[in-house]
């Protein structure tokens, strides 16, 4: 069953990837296409350090990356990786499924790992723990992981039947399987896989802390 769900998510991003990429590009204002809260943690990085972008999509994390920071992005969608290569030539992107051992082979170590809007697509606690355990192995001493999942308990999702997962519509044509997390469940998952949780909070669109009804993302930072 878990393989079927992962395949369904992959097929969605392959089918909708070009349109999805366009919705994640900034055409006005500041250079970065990231959430403001994400840019705050990217700003911690210094020249010469390395960052791993898990589930990189079209590579939008790069738009907020400080200069001279090494970067590797991985994703299992060929469509999104093609978009990333087109939008960000000169950066390294690799095909890989974070739930598979071969994804992690030969990646090396990083000063920071960013896992933005990825873990909620991983359907079981066993696979979620695998991803976080592998990420921990690839983090250099003194580094951190920045992880976000969608807050599916916010008011705009109340129209759906929320249990342990929800099918989130996209552009009226597709649905995406998403696991529901809250502060306690994500904290427990991180601690069970050896992470020291430094911060965990709901964030609104401006990057400010919010409550469970209004926060759009659940953000965790751990080491």
Q: What are the domain boundaries of the chain?
A: 2-222
CA atoms within 13 A of residue 33's CA, in its CB half-sphere = 18
Each residue's pLDDT tens digit in the chain (223 positions)?
778 878 787 777 877 656 556 666 655 445 898 999 999 999 999 999 999 999 999 999 999 999 999 999 999 999 999 999 999 999 999 999 999 999 999 999 999 999 999 999 999 999 999 999 999 999 999 999 999 999 989 887 776 656 666 666 655 665 777 899 999 999 999 999 999 999 999 999 999 999 999 999 999 999 9
The CA distance from 51 to 113, in Å, is 6
Give residue 114's pLDDT.
98
From start to end of 15-76, where are the E strands? 50-54, 70-75
Closest CA to 176 of 217, 123, 214, 222: 123
Q: Which helix (H) or strand (E) holds 70?
A: strand 70-75
Q: Tell me the torsion sign for CA atoms 92, 95, 41, 206.
A: positive
* Cβ-contact 134, 142 below 8 angstroms: no
- 3-state SS, residue 104: helix
* Cβ-contact 37, 207 below 8 angstroms: yes
Query: Domain 2-222: which topology?
Result: Rossmann fold (3.40.50)
- 3-state SS, residue 4: helix
Q: Which helix (H) or strand (E) holds 78?
A: helix 78-87
Other beta carbons less than 10 A from residue 142's beta carbon: 7
In this prediction the pTM is 0.91
Pairing label, strands 110-116, 139-150:
parallel
């Amino acid at each position: 069953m878990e393989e079927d769900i992962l395949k369904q998510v992959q097929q969605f991003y392959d089918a909708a990837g070009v349109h999805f990429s366009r919705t994640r590009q900034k055409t006005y204002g500041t250079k970065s296409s990231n959430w403001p809260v994400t840019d705050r943690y990217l700003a911690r990085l210094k020249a010469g350090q390395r960052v791993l972008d898990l589930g990189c999509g079209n590579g939008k994390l790069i738009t907020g990356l400080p200069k001279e920071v090494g970067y590797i992005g991985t994703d299992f969608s060929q469509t999104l990786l093609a978009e990333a290569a087109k939008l960000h030539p000169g950066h390294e992107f690799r095909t890989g499924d974070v739930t598979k051992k071969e994804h992690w082979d030969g990646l090396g170590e990083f000063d920071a790992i960013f896992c933005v809007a990825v873990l909620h697509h991983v359907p079981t606690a066993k696979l979620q723990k695998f991803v976080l355990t592998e990420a921990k192995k690839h983090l250099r001493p003194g580094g951190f992981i920045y992880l976000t999942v969608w807050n599916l308990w916010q008011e705009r999702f109340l129209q759906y039947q929320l249990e342990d997962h929800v099918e989130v519509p996209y552009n009226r044509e597709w649905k995406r399987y998403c696991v529901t997390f809250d502060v306690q469940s994500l904290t427990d998952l991180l601690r069970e896989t050896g992470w020291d949780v430094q911060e965990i909070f709901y964030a609104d669109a401006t990057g400010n802390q919010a409550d469970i009804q209004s926060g759009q993302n659940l953000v965790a930072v751990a080491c």
